[in-house]
Amino acid sequence: MSWALCILFFLLQTNALTEIANGIKLQLSHASLVFENNLSHEQRNQRLLSQSYASSLVSRKSKNPNLLIRPQVGIQSPYYYMVKIGIGTFKPEPRYPSFRSYYLYMDSGSDLLWMQCEGCRASGGRCFPQKEPVYPNNRSSSYRPILCNKNNNSLCEPNHCINGSCSYNMSYLDNTFSSGILASENFVFNSDVGRTEVVRNLVFGCGVYNRKTYGNSSNQIAGVMGLGWGSYSIVAQANSITRGIFSYCLPPVDNKNTSNWPITYLRFGGDVIKRPDLKVTPLLRVKDQTVYHLVLQGISINNKRLTSLSDRDFQLRGDGSGGCIIDSGTPFSRLVQPAYTVLIKALKRHFWNRRSSKLNLGGLELCYERRKNEGYKNLPSMTFHFKNADLVVRPESLFLVLDKIGSVKGEYFCLAIIPSDFISVLGSYQQTNQRFVYDTKQNQLLFGPQDCSKDA
């Protein structure tokens, strides 16, 4: 997750499975947290910041090699990008179809797909609040726990076997946690022709003990969809559909118009179009980490290179720490402290005639006061210089605008980047209105500007 769940990263990784079951298109939307709408900008961003600090048993082939699946993706404020999935096989009821629908947090920093299951309601379990009932796994005829036995003992270390079933443990830097058992299940996705399509026997984590603060019972997120390196990822499990490629385009979040967020898509395999104008930079996998590493070589403000930055600030260390990753599960980008200090000094020089705020607004350190509704035209852009490719982040994806409490005329704009002690991260806020294509076969990340509200 952040690497999963709007956090930064995977601390505990599970063992890999073998590959399963050729273009999937998951509809992306910025899930709107209904319960969050009455929070102030500062409260929302304080909650967001705390999370930024914090990721088949048998090879199968799809029966339809031209399958294009397009599940809905949504946005839950603030800045939780979610994927809508269907799961299970049930006898149809008046309220429910033959499967159950849920939103999962979209996380390119971890590999396991997990969600809360009914066991979290039992004695010894734990659930976080969510809008839909937790998944009734034991009522699904296609639900199959992965058992610990000699046929698949490579999946379960001795301490990962509970009551005969293979277990998992996921924990993240913001104290998000999920543990439970691994199981296989049928997943249902909307298709490009208005039908639903079933991808069978995907392995997922059925969460029994879960901890995450999304808010109250209006929270729509029921778990995490991991898209990172690793055989648990849907990218690997459904390889004959995904072909090891996925793509998304994240629309900006409009906190003032939460009822009109656009629908976009998480695309896979043959549904991904590699436009000729997209820039290309290497995607690196470090040891057995699930996160996607990039080679960051420098930063510019308004096309002026920050020459006091050193390449060493972004280098990977021998133990796998350091460097830079891209993560859809981290809202605000992070820079290691030396680079962050240089950036702050450069922006202070740029805004020398502005009145800075003495407040640490929502945990963001560099904020300035201004008149209301000035827009972004007088704010600078920022360029991440990746190997062979420059990513230009426009002002509306670099700064956050906050209302000034008690004033109808004033507001603040703040740099939506925070410092880090150990790694740099390109977060989802700085990825908005850009097309990203992850090609795990060619080890490439492709990207270029796009109006993501027109991704449909």
Please tell me the distance from the alpha carbon of residue 114 to that of residue 182, in angstroms, as a whole number.
9
Query: Which is higher by pLDDT, 171 or 292?
Result: 292
Tokens 């057995």 sit on residue: 288
What confidence score (pLDDT) does residue 407 get?
Answer: 66
Strand locations in 238-355 (E): 245-249, 263-268, 279-282, 292-294, 296-301, 304-305, 324-326, 333-336
Residue 133 CA neighbour count, 13 Å, CB half: 8
Task: Summarize the confidence of residues 353-368 as an average pLDDT.
Answer: 79
Instruction: Output the pTM of the full model.
Output: 0.86
Of the ranges 224-238, 267-281, 316-330, 356-370, which one carries the lowest mean pLDDT score? 356-370
Q: What is the mean pLDDT of residues 301-329?
A: 89
Task: Please check whether residue 350 is in contact with residue 314, taking contact to mean a CB–CB distance below 8 angstroms.
Answer: no
CA distances from 82 to 28, 113, 161, 252 (A): 6, 12, 31, 14
Phi and psi based region of residue 220 (left: phi greater than 0; alpha: psi -120 to 50; beta: remaining): alpha
Q: Do 436 and 445 contact (CB within 8 A), yes or no? A: yes
> What is the pLDDT at residue 15?
32
What does the DSSP assignment read for 173-188?
Answer: TTS-EEEEEEEEEEEE
Vertex 190, ends 186 and 192: CA angle to 5°?
A: 135
Q: How confident is the model at residue 30 (pLDDT cuts 50, 70, 90)?
A: very low
> What mean pLDDT comes out for the span 240-264?
80
Torsional sign, CA 262, 330, 246, 17: negative
> How high is the mean pLDDT of the chain?
81
CA distance 45 to 255: 11
CA 77/CA 63 separation, integer angstroms: 38
pLDDT per residue over 63-87, tens digit each?
555 677 776 778 887 788 999 999 9
The larger pLDDT score, comparing residue 275 to residue 54, is at: 275
Q: What is the pLDDT of residue 386?
A: 97
Nearest one of 277, 312, 274, 315 to 293, comparing CA atoms: 315
Indicate if the pLDDT at residue 33 is higher than 50: no
Distance between CA 260 and CA 363 in Å, rounded?
28
The string of pLDDT tens digits covering residues 102-159 is 999 999 999 999 999 999 988 788 999 999 999 999 999 999 999 887 665 555 665 6
Rg (CA), the chain: 21
Q: In the predicted model, is pLDDT for residue 90 greater than 50?
A: yes
Q: Which of 319, 90, 44 is nearest to 198 (CA)?
A: 90
Helices and strands, number each (H, E), in the chain: 4, 29
Q: How far, in Å, CA of 384 to CA of 258, rounded?
A: 29
The widest CA-to-CA distance across the chain, in whole angstroms, is 70
Q: Are 300 and 343 in contact (CB under 8 A)?
A: no
Structural domains for the chain: 23-271 (2.40.70.10), 279-450 (2.40.70.10)
Q: How many CB atoms lie within 10 A of CB 370?
A: 17
Q: How many residues does the chain have?
A: 456
